[in-house]
Chain A
Amino acid sequence: MELEYDILVIGAGPGGLSAAKAAMQTAARSDKACSPFRVAVLERDEIPGGILNQCVHDGFGIVRYGAQLSGPEYAEIEIQKAEEAGVQILTGCMVTEIRLQEAVPAETKAGFRPGFAVTVITRSGYKVLQAKSIVLATGCRERTRGMLSIPGTRPAGIYTAGVAQNLINRKNIMVGRRVVLLGTGDIGLIMARRLTLEGAEVLCAAEVMAEPTGLARNVRQCLYDFGIPLHLRTTVSNIYGKGRLEAVELSEVDEDLQPVPGTKKRIECDTLILSVGLIPENEVAKTAGVKLDPKTGGAKTDAYLQTNIPGIFACGNARAVMDLADFVSEQGEIAGANAAICAAYAEGGAVQPLQKWEKNPHNAALKGLPEENAVTCTLCPKGCQILAEWDPEQEKILVTGNGCPRGEAFARQELTDPHRILTTTIRSVSDAPAGSTAGRLIPVRSDSPVPLDEMQELAKMLRSMHIPAEHAEKVRRGDVLAAELGRDHVNIIAERSAI
């Protein structure tokens, strides 16, 4: 590990990877940028990709690549692009502090600081790295039961959706069998499907608001597809169980979101999954004195994505939680490019105009309840509400409301034989001790949609399948791991190359 960099990006999720890539590309275009220009991404996990690695489901990449990618596929593409641009990706690196350098050389232009000292804890040592600019791409964390202050006992069996996702998709650990979901954030919805596909019974989803908070597409394909009841204006008002969770009490809520007496309903379950919001993670930002937006908890930036500290930029969920990874990547590119311009300027390089983030990505995907009588297109996160009606005059089905031609085909199929992409994992028997069934998981998906009514059966089939370690170690993204399954003879392909 070198000790001096032009730019350090903190976090190798979608935001950080594209920020680093854009910084390298911007520097390459600039005639005055110092050479070699050095950009590194510091990632605390052992592999780059961030939370994308545990998002084995599809729905990524539609904006940037016009494709239906899974999290690991999207991550691999972004990692590859960053590496091709010359970015160094340093994993196993936990940044604990960013300090502003005290001494300001006289020749430095006003408003720019010469740099930052970044403390990094790694297995190979305690490091202090120098950088001219910083991009914060530290993502977000989940709201917890503790923050919600739900009354009741504190049994085992209560997990936030992201923790359950990590345990199930990366650690091969099953969290429970009879599940209630509180909150309808996208990760929670995705986990309702994931748990169902892995053999758990998801009893219901409760949402305190009048509308689900996640995408309409996910309400359709994660709850409705599997007949999971959705209770709106409902919350968990009590938790029972001494050792393991035994039951939750659901109550309807009034206008102030307080439980209405007399509406209590006890549901026996062993697991409660919480999907009740995300909070920008800014522990590191705070060490540098970066100001946070009190409303979002994210790093406050100007239109150029620069924080109150000149030279420190922020992007993605660390700045404000976004619905789609694609937008995070786009924002990362702007933050990274601006950081590069800033670093070059600090060196006395040419002054290029900074780019503004002007997108309002909040209306890009339909959130909330799907419309009744409409087909919710699940091909992409937009979630078009498509009407397909029989027109007696023309004597054919008329399709309206689709945003693209694929939507029409989807709606027609949905009326006769709904299909979905199946996403799950396959176990590789590798480093597990003898006699144990532990093994690494490979994220996989079907290469084309499978009949909806066949999904659970196929997922079960893949649950009992495993591939030998020596094979798993050579797996490349797109490799067929199981061929010609089910009615439609789909192939099951690896979402990520072995690392």
Chain B
Amino acid sequence: MMGEGWCRSMQHFYDVIIIGAGAVGCALARELSRYELSVAVLEKDGDVAGETTGRNSAVVHAGFNNRPDSLMASLCVEGNEGFGQLCAELDVPFRETGKLVLGYSAEDIETLEHLLAQGRENGCRDLKIVRGEELRELLAEHELTGLQCPEAALWSPHTGITNPFLYCVALAENAHENGVDVFLDTEVTGIEAVPENSLKVSEAGRFCLQTRDGKKLRCRYLINCAGLQADRIARMAGAGGYQIYPCRGEYFILDKYELSMPVYPAPPKKAGGLGVHLTPTIEGNIIIGPSAQYLTEHDPAVREDYACTRPVMDKLMEEACQLMPQIGEMQPIGNYSGIRPKLSPPEKGGYSDFVIRAEKEVPGLIDVIGIESPGLTASVPIARKICRMIDEAERAKAGPAEEQSAADSGLRLKPDFHSTRQGILRFREQSPEKQAELIRQDPDYGEIICRCQKITKREIRQAIENPLGARSVSAIKYRAWATTGRCNGGYCLPRITEMMTREYGMKPEEIRYRNGASRMFTGWVK
């Protein structure tokens, strides 16, 4: 099933092609859609947000975990400050919950003090270390008395949580509405970079991209936001020298329990992550994780090995119980894992900075590599930075001789850019009066398809008919949030399947979970 973007665009030439529809790729698509540019996003998966973007703790970070003067620090702080406003524009759930980093030992407290100093230098607002009576009051106020009581804690009031799928979907949909073509199931298999002095450049763009399904697309600027495959894509485009070290993090999802904010241990030194933490989700579940385990095999397929493993699962539970003993009595309803596209090799650990680089040897190529945490928070600032780089390149192309018109030679804003986007109205969040009115307007609001999350047929319908044309079960799951409850889709999956086959004319064997290979069913029984 192809997106509307494909039908709409008969031209195969773009000013900018973005490879990868994760948070950064989609944020960039949306930022670029403000300008007079033709833009396409190519995504190898059947939907946006399928890899690193959709597989993390969904925390909007404040920015105290990263070295001062790093891109990670500055872009994260900028991202955090704008996140609420952005989510309001795009109708994405966001809650500024605050966050606590807990210290149990003298060494931990030293780490907290380091984080505090670092955070202040980075420009994080209102950070402080709380102890004693103040700490007890804070824990009581936020109903966190179930925590193993720490000696001290770093309190970050502006950390928040979001729904990374909806965030990414919203960015992509808004970009799409503003003219960006989004190609799903479109894997880039070859990139030809035409030498700059070649005559062909002016007429057809510097890059010619070949896709697995046989498309040929050309562009002037190629932005590599390919996440776990970014080093490969860079090499394909002629920029060697990058190596991604995939580092897997596993998670548990618990049923719905009260937890007011993310709680972290003091980050372990040299590890690939921030330590196993407890995070509330926007939907009211608790997630535990992530672990940090480098995947050492050289096979590129290992970068998509989203398995969970028994030893790590046991360790997650153990560490979570150290933070909050009652976790042991809570009911898990799922497991998942994500993979960090790290530039920092296993022997070094820790964080290398984001790479956002206009490659000198390959003019027109901008590599965006090593976007691990806090990449979700920083995605829009990263996108803005890339916009500025394209703007500069456009001005430079106009040349110093034409200084007079330099102001006009950069990117030009589109007058008709729509900055807002409306998501699917959530029936369950409405007042009884509003619910009654909605059912009067459309009886599909009166049919609850997902019992755990109280999602109506109307919402499922909207999710199936999403503007990006993603037609998989997971596309519906992430947009409407069906199948995510404690019954794991036991009630709604047959009903959603029935809608897809009877109302949307799909054959059972065409229904897939996510990508081409993930067929849900083998056909009709009879």
A residues near B (Cβ < 8 Å) are 44, 92, 94, 96, 119, 121-126, 141-142, 144-147, 149, 151-157, 160, 162-163, 166-168, 170-177, 198, 237, 242-244, 259, 270, 283, 425-427, 431, 433, 436-438, 441, 463-464, 466
Q: Given A44-B451, A154-B336, A177-B522, are A170 and B488 also a contact pair (CB < 8 Å)? A: no
A121 to B432, CA, bound (A): 10
| Listed A/B pairs (25) with beta-carbon separation below 8 Å | A94-B447, A121-B446, A122-B439, A123-B439, A124-B446, A126-B446, A142-B487, A146-B332, A146-B333, A155-B513, A156-B520, A172-B526, A174-B508, A175-B520, A175-B521, A242-B517, A242-B518, A243-B515, A283-B452, A426-B526, A438-B501, A438-B524, A463-B525, A463-B526, A464-B526
Residue of A whose beta carbon sits closest to that of B498: A171
| Least CB distance, B507 to chain A, in whole angstroms | 8
> In the complex, which residues of chain A have a beta carbon less than 8 angstroms from the beta carbon of B310?
151, 237, 259
Closest to B333 in A: A146
Q: CB < 8 Å: which of A92, A124, A152 contacts B307?
A: A152
- Interface check B6, CB cutoff 8 A: no
Q: When the two chains form their complex, are residues B497 and A156 in contact, meaning their CB atoms are under 8 A apart?
A: no
From A156, A433, A438, residue with most partner B Cβ within 10 Å:
A156
| A259→B498 CA distance, assembly (Å) | 38
Rounded to whole angstroms, the CA-CA distance of A141 and B435 in the bound complex is: 27
Decide yes or no whether B139 CB sits under 8 A from chain A: no
Q: Which 8 A-B pairs have the closest CB atoms?
A: A243-B517, A146-B334, A243-B518, A126-B436, A156-B513, A144-B488, A123-B446, A123-B443
> Are B524 and A437 closer than 8 Å at their CB atoms?
yes
With a CB–CB cut-off of 8 A, which chain A residues contact B252?
149
Minimum CB–CB distance for B435 against chain A, Å: 5
In the bound complex, how far is the Cα of B435 from the Cα of A39, in angstroms? 26
Q: Provide the bound-state CA to CA distance between A480 and B443, in Å.
A: 38
> Given A152-B307, A174-B508, does the pair A44, B448 have CB atoms closer than 8 Å?
yes
Distance to closest chain A CB from B46 (angstroms) = 10
Known: A170-B494, A433-B505. A243 touches B308 (CB 8 A): no
Chain B residue at minimal CB-CB distance from A237: B310
Query: Which residues from B are CB-within-8-Å of A167?
Result: 494, 497, 521
Contact of B435 with A126 in the complex, beta carbons under 8 Å: yes
Main secondary structure of the interface of A (DSSP, over half): mixed
Known contacts: A147-B333, A149-B313, A174-B524. The answer to whether A154 contacts B446 by CB under 8 A is no
Q: How far is the CB of B382 from chain A (nearest CB, A)?
A: 29
A119-B432, A149-B332, A438-B501 given as contacts; is B446 within 8 A of A125 (CB)?
yes
Which residues of the other chain, A, contact B332 by a CB distance below 8 angstroms? 146-147, 149
Distance of B302 from chain A, by nearest CB (Å):
11
Known: A126-B446, A146-B333, A151-B309. A174 touches B523 (CB 8 A): yes
Report the separation of the CA atoms of residues A451 and B451 in the bound assembly, to the nearest whole angstrom: 42
**Cα separation A463 to B333 with both chains bound (whole Å):** 37
Besides A243-B519, A283-B451, 19 other A-B contacts (C-beta < 8 A): A44-B448, A121-B446, A125-B439, A125-B440, A141-B487, A142-B487, A145-B488, A146-B332, A146-B333, A156-B512, A156-B514, A170-B494, A171-B494, A171-B497, A172-B525, A173-B494, A243-B512, A243-B518, A425-B525
Give bound CA distance, A254 to B306, whole Å.
Answer: 28
Determine if B204 is an interface residue (Cβ-Cβ < 8 Å): no
B491: CB under 8 A from chain A? yes
Docked-complex contact B306 and A174, CB < 8 angstroms: no
The minimal Cβ–Cβ distance linking A252 to chain B, given in whole angstroms, is: 15
A-chain residues with CB within 8 Å of residue B446 when the two chains form the complex: 121-126
Q: Does B502 contact A (CB under 8 A)?
A: yes
**CB-defined contacts of A153 to chain B, threshold 8 Å:** 305-308
A433 to B331, CA, bound (A): 43
Q: Tell whether, in the assembled complex, residue B512 and residue A173 are in contact, meaning their CB atoms are under 8 Å apart.
A: no
Question: Are the CB atoms of A175 and B522 closer together than 8 Å?
Answer: yes
Q: Is B363 an interface residue (CB 8 A)?
A: no
Question: Which residues of A sit under 8 angstroms from B473, Cβ to Cβ?
Answer: 156
Q: Is the CB of A142 within 8 A of B305?
A: no
Asked if B214 is an interface residue, CB under 8 A from chain A, the answer is: no
Asked whether any CB of chain A lies closer than 8 Å to the CB of B423, the reply is: no
Chain A residues near B15: list those with CB within 8 A. none
Check B335–A172 contact: CB distance below 8 A.
no
> In the complex, what distance in Å separates the CA atom of A96 from the CA atom of B252?
28
Which residues of chain B come closer than 8 Å to A92, judged between CB atoms? Answer: 447
- How far is it, in angstroms, between the C-alpha of A244 and the C-alpha of B330 when the chains are bound? 30
Does A96 lie within 8 Å of B454, measured CB to CB?
Answer: yes
Binary A-proximity of B293-305 (CB < 8 A = 1, otherwise 0):
0000000010011
Question: Residues of B contacting A198 with CB < 8 Å?
Answer: 525-526
For A44, the chain B residues whose CB sits under 8 A away are 448, 451
Option from B309, B440, B451, B524 in Cβ contact (under 8 Å) with A172: B524
Contact check, A162 vs B490: say whether CB atoms are below 8 A apart. yes
In this complex, what residue of A is CB-closest to B508? A173
Shortest Cβ distance from residue A244 to the other chain B in the assembled complex, whole angstroms:
5
B526 touches A126 (CB 8 A): no
B307 closest partner in A (C-beta): A153
Nearest Cβ in chain B — how far from A451, in angstroms? 22
Q: Which residues of B contact A244 (CB under 8 A)?
A: 517-519
Name the distance in Å between B438's Cβ and chain A's nearest Cβ: 8
B222 to chain A, nearest CB (A): 28
Chain B residues within an 8 Å CB radius of A163: 489-490, 493-494
Query: Does A166 lie within 8 Å of B494, measured CB to CB?
Result: yes
B409 to chain A, nearest CB (A): 47
Q: Give the shortest distance, in Å, between B107 (CB) and chain A (any CB).
A: 32
* CB-CB nearest in chain B for A466: B526
Query: Given the complex, which residues of B lie within 8 Å of A168, measured CB to CB?
Result: 525
Complex-state Cα separation, A443 to B515, whole angstroms: 34
Q: Which of B444, B473, B522, B525 has the most CB of A within 10 A?
A: B525
Q: Which residues of B contact A154 (CB under 8 A)?
A: 306, 335-336
Q: Does B516 contact A (CB under 8 A)?
A: yes
Complex Cα distance, B331 from A151, in Å, reads 16
CB of B253 within 8 A of chain A? yes
Assembly CA distance A32 to B372 (angstroms): 73
Task: Report the nearest B residue to A167, measured CB to CB.
Answer: B494
Min CB–CB distance B489 → chain A (angstroms) = 7
A-chain residues with CB within 8 Å of residue B516 when the two chains form the complex: 243
Min CB distance A143 to B, Å, is: 9
* Residue numbers in A under 8 Å from B432 (CB-CB): 119, 126
Interface 0/1 of B198-224, CB less than 8 Å to A: 000000000000000000000000000
A155 surroundings in chain B (CB, below 8 A): 513, 518
Task: Report the minimal beta-carbon distance from A95 to chain B, rounded to whole angstroms.
Answer: 10
Choose among A147, A152, A425 the residue that contacts B331 (Cβ–Cβ < 8 A). Answer: A147
- A173 vs B456: C-alpha distance when bound (angstroms): 23
In this complex, what residue of A is CB-closest to B442? Answer: A123
Provide the bound-state CA to CA distance between A401 and B12, in Å. Answer: 79
Chain B residues whose C-beta falls within 8 Å of the C-beta of A144 in the assembled complex: 333, 486-488, 490
| Nearest residue, chain A, Cβ from B488 | A144
Which residues of A sit under 8 angstroms from B308, Cβ to Cβ?
151-153
Output the nearest chain A residue to B254 by Cβ-Cβ distance. A146
Task: From B443, B456, B488, name the one whose CB has the most chain A CB atoms within 10 angstroms.
Answer: B488
CB-CB under 8 A from A441, the residues of chain B are 525-526
Residues of A contacting B514 with CB < 8 Å? 156, 243
Q: Is the CB of A173 within 8 A of B501?
A: yes
Cβ-closest chain B residue relative to A283: B451
Bound: A142/B333 CA distance, A: 12
Residues of A within 8 A of B501 (CB): 171, 173, 438
Output the least CB separation between B485 and chain A (Å): 10
Q: Report B228-253 residues with CB < 8 Å from chain A CB.
A: 252-253
Q: Which of B443, B490, B497, B525 contacts A142 (CB 8 A)?
A: B490
What is the distance, in angstroms, from A373's C-beta to the closest C-beta of chain B? 37
Looking at the complex, which one of B331, B440, B448, B498 makes contact with A121 (CB distance below 8 Å)?
B448
Q: Give the complex CA separation of A156 and B515 in angstroms.
A: 10
**Beta-carbon contacts under 8 Å, B296-345 to A:** 301, 304-310, 313, 331-336
- Tell whether, in the assembled complex, residue A123 and residue B447 are in contact, meaning their CB atoms are under 8 Å apart: yes
Instruction: Specify the chain A residue showing the minimal Cβ separation from B456.
Output: A121
A260 to chain B, nearest CB (A): 13
CA distance A182 to B497 in the complex (A): 24
